[in-house]
Protein backbone atom coordinates (compact mmCIF):
# COMPACT_ATOMS: atom_id res chain seq x y z
CA UNK A 1 0.00 0.00 0.00
CA UNK A 2 1.39 3.42 -0.99
CA UNK A 3 -0.04 6.89 -0.49
CA UNK A 4 0.73 10.01 -2.52
CA UNK A 5 0.80 13.54 -1.10
CA UNK A 6 0.19 16.52 -3.41
CA UNK A 7 0.95 20.18 -2.75
CA UNK A 8 -0.63 22.34 -5.46
CA UNK A 9 1.31 25.44 -6.39
CA UNK A 10 1.22 27.97 -9.20
CA UNK A 11 4.76 27.28 -10.38
CA UNK A 12 5.20 23.68 -9.23
CA UNK A 13 3.17 20.79 -7.85
CA UNK A 14 5.10 19.05 -5.10
CA UNK A 15 4.79 15.31 -4.62
CA UNK A 16 5.56 12.90 -1.80
CA UNK A 17 5.16 9.14 -1.47
CA UNK A 18 4.74 6.98 1.61
CA UNK A 19 6.61 3.80 2.37
CA UNK A 20 4.51 0.62 1.92
CA UNK A 21 3.97 0.40 5.69
CA UNK A 22 2.36 3.88 5.66
CA UNK A 23 4.79 5.13 8.29
CA UNK A 24 6.95 7.75 6.59
CA UNK A 25 6.51 10.24 3.77
CA UNK A 26 9.43 11.10 1.49
CA UNK A 27 9.85 13.61 -1.35
CA UNK A 28 8.94 12.38 -4.83
CA UNK A 29 9.77 15.48 -6.89
CA UNK A 30 8.03 18.44 -8.46
CA UNK A 31 6.08 18.96 -11.63
CA UNK A 32 6.48 22.36 -13.31
CA UNK A 33 3.02 23.72 -14.09
CA UNK A 34 3.72 27.25 -15.38
CA UNK A 35 0.86 28.95 -13.56
CA UNK A 36 -1.79 26.21 -13.79
CA UNK A 37 -1.69 23.17 -11.50
CA UNK A 38 -4.16 21.39 -13.80
CA UNK A 39 -1.20 20.82 -16.19
CA UNK A 40 0.10 18.27 -13.65
CA UNK A 41 -2.91 15.92 -13.79
CA UNK A 42 -1.51 13.58 -16.46
CA UNK A 43 1.89 13.32 -14.76
CA UNK A 44 0.23 12.64 -11.40
CA UNK A 45 -1.92 9.91 -12.97
CA UNK A 46 1.21 8.33 -14.48
CA UNK A 47 2.92 8.37 -11.08
CA UNK A 48 -0.16 6.78 -9.48
CA UNK A 49 -0.01 3.99 -12.05
CA UNK A 50 3.77 3.52 -11.77
CA UNK A 51 3.86 3.48 -7.97
CA UNK A 52 0.57 1.56 -7.47
CA UNK A 53 -0.82 4.34 -5.28
CA UNK A 54 -3.86 3.41 -3.16
CA UNK A 55 -4.69 6.81 -1.68
CA UNK A 56 -4.00 10.39 -2.80
CA UNK A 57 -3.90 13.21 -0.25
CA UNK A 58 -4.25 16.69 -1.74
CA UNK A 59 -3.45 19.75 0.36
CA UNK A 60 -6.46 21.99 0.99
CA UNK A 61 -5.25 25.57 1.51
CA UNK A 62 -7.81 26.86 3.98
CA UNK A 63 -7.61 30.43 5.19
CA UNK A 64 -6.35 31.02 8.71
CA UNK A 65 -9.92 31.29 10.02
CA UNK A 66 -10.74 27.88 8.53
CA UNK A 67 -12.86 29.14 5.65
CA UNK A 68 -12.33 28.28 2.01
CA UNK A 69 -11.06 30.89 -0.41
CA UNK A 70 -10.26 30.69 -4.13
CA UNK A 71 -7.24 28.44 -3.60
CA UNK A 72 -9.22 25.89 -1.60
CA UNK A 73 -11.97 25.81 -4.21
CA UNK A 74 -9.33 25.28 -6.90
CA UNK A 75 -7.84 22.40 -4.87
CA UNK A 76 -11.29 20.79 -4.63
CA UNK A 77 -11.76 21.15 -8.42
CA UNK A 78 -8.29 19.67 -8.98
CA UNK A 79 -9.06 16.67 -6.73
CA UNK A 80 -12.41 16.14 -8.52
CA UNK A 81 -10.67 16.25 -11.91
CA UNK A 82 -8.05 13.78 -10.69
CA UNK A 83 -10.80 11.38 -9.59
CA UNK A 84 -12.50 11.68 -13.00
CA UNK A 85 -9.24 10.95 -14.83
CA UNK A 86 -8.51 7.99 -12.57
CA UNK A 87 -11.99 6.58 -13.30
CA UNK A 88 -11.20 6.79 -17.02
CA UNK A 89 -7.90 4.98 -16.46
CA UNK A 90 -9.58 2.14 -14.57
CA UNK A 91 -11.93 1.69 -17.54
CA UNK A 92 -8.95 1.61 -19.96
CA UNK A 93 -7.78 -1.96 -20.58
CA UNK A 94 -4.24 -0.67 -21.28
CA UNK A 95 -3.90 0.86 -17.81
CA UNK A 96 -2.39 -1.15 -14.94
CA UNK A 97 -4.78 0.66 -12.59
CA UNK A 98 -7.40 -1.80 -11.38
CA UNK A 99 -9.30 0.38 -8.92
CA UNK A 100 -9.61 4.09 -8.35
CA UNK A 101 -7.44 5.26 -5.46
CA UNK A 102 -9.23 7.21 -2.76
CA UNK A 103 -8.64 10.96 -3.15
CA UNK A 104 -8.94 13.06 0.00
CA UNK A 105 -8.21 16.63 1.01
CA UNK A 106 -6.16 17.59 4.07
CA UNK A 107 -5.90 21.02 5.70
CA UNK A 108 -2.53 22.36 4.67
CA UNK A 109 -2.44 25.60 6.63
CA UNK A 110 1.14 26.47 7.56
CA UNK A 111 2.68 23.52 5.69
CA UNK A 112 4.92 25.84 3.69
CA UNK A 113 6.12 27.41 6.95
CA UNK A 114 6.78 23.92 8.34
CA UNK A 115 8.55 22.90 5.14
CA UNK A 116 10.85 25.93 5.28
CA UNK A 117 11.62 25.17 8.94
CA UNK A 118 12.45 21.52 8.13
CA UNK A 119 14.74 22.63 5.31
CA UNK A 120 16.53 25.07 7.61
CA UNK A 121 16.89 22.32 10.23
CA UNK A 122 18.46 20.14 7.52
CA UNK A 123 21.00 22.95 6.83
CA UNK A 124 19.60 23.72 3.40
CA UNK A 125 20.46 27.33 2.57
CA UNK A 126 17.43 29.58 2.09
CA UNK A 127 18.41 30.40 -1.50
CA UNK A 128 17.99 26.66 -2.25
CA UNK A 129 14.49 26.34 -0.73
CA UNK A 130 12.42 27.40 -3.75
CA UNK A 131 13.02 24.28 -5.91
CA UNK A 132 12.37 21.85 -3.04
CA UNK A 133 9.86 23.58 -0.76
CA UNK A 134 6.83 22.32 -2.74
CA UNK A 135 7.83 18.68 -2.45
CA UNK A 136 8.75 19.22 1.21
CA UNK A 137 5.27 20.71 1.73
CA UNK A 138 3.84 17.58 0.09
CA UNK A 139 5.84 15.53 2.60
CA UNK A 140 4.29 17.51 5.48
CA UNK A 141 0.77 17.10 4.01
CA UNK A 142 1.23 13.37 3.52
CA UNK A 143 2.88 12.79 6.89
CA UNK A 144 -0.02 14.60 8.58
CA UNK A 145 -2.47 12.28 6.82
CA UNK A 146 -0.43 9.16 7.67
CA UNK A 147 -0.19 10.16 11.32
CA UNK A 148 -3.93 10.88 11.42
CA UNK A 149 -4.77 7.51 9.85
CA UNK A 150 -2.67 5.69 12.45
CA UNK A 151 -4.47 7.48 15.30
CA UNK A 152 -7.86 6.17 14.11
Q: CATH no. for residue 68? A: 3.30.420.140
The better pLDDT of the pair 151, 15 is held by: 15
pLDDT tops 70 at residue 40: yes
CA distances from residue 143 to 51, 65, 118, 134 in whole angstroms, order as listed: 18, 23, 13, 14
> Predicted confidence band at 82 (pLDDT cuts at 50, 70, 90)?
very high
Range of the domain at 103: 2-151
User: Looking at the 3D structure of the chain, how many domains does it have?
Assistant: 1
Q: Model's pTM, two decimal places?
A: 0.86
Section 19-23 average pLDDT? 96
pLDDT digits (tens, 9 = 90+) for 88-100: 999 888 888 889 9
pLDDT tops 90 at residue 21: yes
Dihedral sign, Cα of residue 72, residue 43, residue 1, residue 15: negative
Amino acid sequence: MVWLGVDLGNARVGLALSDPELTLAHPAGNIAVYGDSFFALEDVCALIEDEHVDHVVVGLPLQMDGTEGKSAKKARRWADNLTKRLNLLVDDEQSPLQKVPQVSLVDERLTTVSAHRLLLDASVRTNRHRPVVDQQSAVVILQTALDGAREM
